[in-house]
Amino acid sequence: MKVFQIAWAYGPILMLSLPLAANDHSFPETRLFQKALGLSPSVGVVSDVWGIQAGQAPQFLILEDVHEHGEAQAAIASAILYGRKQWKASTIFVEGASGAVERPAKPRTGAEWAVVRDPEKRLQLFGLESPSVYRQNLTAYQQVKKLRGAALEELHTTQLLRRAVGETDPALEARWALWERLLALKLRPSDYTQLLNTPFEKPNAPHLAEALGWAQRFYVLADARSSIFLEKARNVETEGPRVLVVGGFHTTEMVKRLREAGESYLVISPTITRPANDARYARRMDESVSALLGAAR
């Protein structure tokens, strides 16, 4: 068993940067499932569903995580316990660990609280990570963090000079805005698709070019992890639907692959009324990086 005990880097950032429509259950299909589940919109919303009728158990129950956020974790715990009661779900698949995870003595996440509070004591945690890919993703995160300040300084200098002489246009301004979101690791799934479909020339600024390269690698590896998550979850024997608790960035790729495979799913997004604590989250990330590097020696 390998447990990394991490609050993963892009979970809260990406979830909070997703457009509000991602938490909008205005489509009749999702409204129907919201009502059938008895899920209060103040807790969370059914943001996507495919392949099942209201009341049926999906093959995959995907809970979009916002790490280090109390509201989100409470909603996730409630959704997991609902899945256990209604559909006999038995296994919760989580980021930041690999293989079977021991019952936590001091729960900190919604998934851990659900395991502790399960009256039947049947819920178990299972980590979805490939340790090698996970460490590569952490390395990319570290490099972006190290280079971000100098890269942004070069980008802002370029913007000032080009704007001063009138050498700019809407397309260039849009590219700069995309680069800023990329360096902040706050890309939306649509931003990532844009990067893949319209690659850009490296800027003539050394720190900026290097930081953008690492940031792109960060997202490519994050995308690879989405595929790894599904394959690992599919290969584990479990009762009831497979419950996956993952950051919002992974959801787009995962539901696409589930549809292609003809596997049913239901996605629940927690309702957020206040921002996450990014400073505390960054500290947890640094602690996790240090622990992993120490274990690798």
> What mean pLDDT comes out for the span 222-248?
94
Report the distance separating Cα 63 and Cα 70, nearest Å.
Answer: 15
Q: Is residue 202 part of a domain?
A: no
Q: Is residue 179 part of a domain?
A: no
Q: How many domains does the chain have?
A: 1
Mean pLDDT of the residues in the chain: 83
**pLDDT of 103 higher than 60:** yes
Q: Above pLDDT 90, what percent of the chain?
A: 58
Contacts of the segment 203-210: beta carbons below 8 A, 24+ positions apart: 203/154, 203/155, 203/158, 205/151, 205/154, 205/155, 205/158, 206/154, 207/147, 207/150, 207/151, 207/153, 207/154, 208/150, 208/151, 208/154, 208/155, 208/158, 208/179, 210/143, 210/147, 210/151
136 located within any domain? no
* pLDDT exceeds 50 at position 243: yes
Output the six-digit token pair for 137. Answer: 């993703």
- Comparing 36-45, 132-141, 230-239, the range with the smallest average pLDDT is 36-45
- What's the CA gap between 74 and 268, in Å, rounded? 13
Predicted confidence at residue 122, as pLDDT, reads 93
Q: Would you say residue 214 lies in a domain?
A: no
Q: What pTM, to 2 d.p., does this model score?
A: 0.80
Query: Do residues 60 and 242 make contact, with C-beta atoms less than 8 angstroms apart?
Result: yes
Quote the CA–CA distance of 15 and 40 in Å, as a whole number. Answer: 20
Question: Among 65, 75, 33, 94, which residue's Cα sits nearest to residue 242?
Answer: 94
Q: Which domain holds residue 237?
A: 2-131+221-296
Per-residue pLDDT tens over the stretch 261-282:
999 999 999 888 876 655 554 4
pLDDT of residue 188: 85
Give the model confidence (pLDDT) of 176-206 as tens digits.
999 999 999 999 888 988 888 887 788 999 9
In the block, which residue shows the tokens 């800023």? 180
In a domain, 231, yes or no: yes
**pLDDT greater at residue 291 or residue 157:** 157
Beta carbons of 188 and 15 less than 8 angstroms apart: no
Q: Tell whether 151 is covered by a domain.
A: no
Instruction: Tell whether 185 is covered by a domain.
Output: no
- Cα–Cα nearest to 207, from 157, 136, 140, 153: 153
| CA 138 to each of CA 118, 130, 244, 251: distance values in angstroms, whole numbers, following the listed order | 32, 12, 21, 20
Cα 214 to Cα 140: distance, rounded to the nearest angstrom: 5
* Domain contains 205: no
CA angle 235, 236, 240 (to 5 degrees): 120
- 18 versus 91: which is more confidently predicted? 91
